[in-house]
Structure 1
């Protein structure tokens, strides 16, 4: 396997990424490609490479990328999480993946985790050529996630979000909130396992910043990508963390029932545990099995 740095245009900016080429991929045969994107404020160094390396070992090309405003990608102000812009980044990543040499443009798979797990549902609903989707610990229901958040934190985040929106209208720098923080803090994720869990995943990601422009706090409850599952005609695997405090498992199960070709793997762990150790091994094994059955690398 080899990994190379790449960049591709997305709207008014550029997304940075890595392309993983499996051993023997210099042959003439066109292979499927898996496009990987992270969740809330995540960057590609936060274990996207670990999943991509395992997929490449199974014979798949992979493209892992950073959203604009995050990591190595362009975009000002930094740490701006805008749902519409991230939808555009997914579309741009898919278009770039299809343009690569020796890639089968009709065998593009989307892999997204956490908030990215919701965005891949959205992206596949917009692109009928997507061959399959893997949605890990997915954010499928903003209302369910908002209800799971500490009320004290919600009040603090909304107050900062209003200040951020007001300031943006007159050109002020963003007002920030933490992505993960202790219970009751002004952070988007404040369950007891969130801050230590997120920092463990970010241990080898120097580009990670535990903050985001607060205006995103006003958009969370209104984003309901799970409702688009019923539009998918490709197979989709939901990797559900049973004790998830960020993206409640019950909401994901409910939306999965509306999919025409859904499969579910459940892992007895929390939202951030699935990136590391034994839960990671279990998850990536299930994902490779799903891929080989629906989008085999040598078809």
Structure 2
């Protein structure tokens, strides 16, 4: 997101953006409309490269002030926001919504039995990658007891509710099993102390994917952190009254930190 002196935005989102804010949305490589094989491969290094490329592009868009680029990310992308802001001192402000901040904390919240059942598939997928063969895939989410990356009781219902509310078919969610090794090693919250711009952390106290305790510990180390806490789970803030509450807080933050007309 970038502050701009023009009204409107480059594309019409489902929720109106405030006049003067332009929003840039992109797909990571391997996902959505972007290219790359194998599909649905999560690579932290490459996703961070995509964030840097998106920021660089945003600064070239006509009518956008390159000194007033704001980062916004949710869940895993919320962690990328922290890393990107820490590495780029030109970022004007950032918003991290229910951010993934600590892979160890997230891994500790998983069902240990399900994690053990995942291990053989991870090994087989790593071997497949070395031999340049199709990946061994696992579901990104599933019900408790199933072999999947996320199996907390609220995960599958939460994802399916979001898909239903968007009115789309369920997208591919079987991902290369090697992803299970990326997640525990990623701890973007440790870079919060290096974020010099104002940053808003929207934390869900009942988050089963990105545990709030770890997020709060990291967030408090950011020099210009503002923290808002919500009595919600990881998926409930995307709709209804919870959505309206968090969006109101984010718009107020933008108005205070990156006001229009300056």
Give the shorter-chain TM-score range. over 0.9
Alignment partner of 1:117: what SS? helix
Cα deviation, residue 22, structure 1: 8.9
Cα deviation, residue 206, structure 1: 4.0
CA distance in 2, matches of 1:106, 1:20: 9
> Within the alignment, does 1:275 sit opposite 2:238 as a pair?
yes
Corresponding residue to 2:47 among 86, 101, 107: 86
Query: If the length of structure 2 is used for normalisation, what is the TM-score?
Result: 0.93
Write out per-residue CA displacement over residues 67-122 of structure 1, whole angstroms, 9 at most, x where no aligned residue: 11111111111111111110011001101111100000010011010000001101
Contact 2:198 / 2:225 at 8 angstroms: preserved in 1? yes
Provide the residue aligned with 2:115 in structure 1: 154
List alignment gaps of at least 5 residues for structure 1.
1-18, 34-47
- The alignment yields a C-alpha RMSD, in angstroms, of 2.2
Provide the residue aligned with 2:105 in structure 1: 144
Query: If the length of structure 1 is used for normalisation, what is the TM-score?
Result: 0.82
Alignment partner of 1:65: what SS? coil
CA distance in 2, matches of 1:216, 1:290: 34
Where do 1:1-299 residues align within 5 Å?
Answer: 25=7, 49-50=13-14, 53-54=15-16, 56-203=17-164, 204=166, 205-206=168-169, 208-299=171-262
CA distance in 1, matches of 2:229, 2:90: 27
Seen in structure 2, the aligned counterparts of structure 1 residues 297 and 156 have a Cα distance that, compared at 3 Å, is: farther
Alignment partner of 2:91: what SS? coil
CA distance in 2, matches of 1:196, 1:80: 23
Cα deviation, residue 188, structure 1: 1.1
Seen in structure 2, the aligned counterparts of structure 1 residues 22 and 132 have a Cα distance that, compared at 3 Å, is: closer
How many residues are treated as equivalent by the alignment?
A: 259
Alignment partner of 2:255: what SS? helix
List alignment gaps of at least 5 residues for structure 2.
none
Cα deviation, residue 160, structure 1: 1.2
- Runs (4 or more) in structure 1 with deviation over 4 Å come to 19-24
CA distance in 2, matches of 1:271, 1:91: 26
CA distance in 1, matches of 2:113, 2:28: 29
Contact 1:59 / 1:297 at 8 angstroms: preserved in 2? yes
Alignment partner of 1:144: what SS? helix
Write out per-residue CA displacement over residues 168-208 of structure 1, whole angstroms, 9 at most, x where no aligned residue: 11111111111110112111111110001011112334472
Provide the residue aligned with 1:14 in structure 2: none
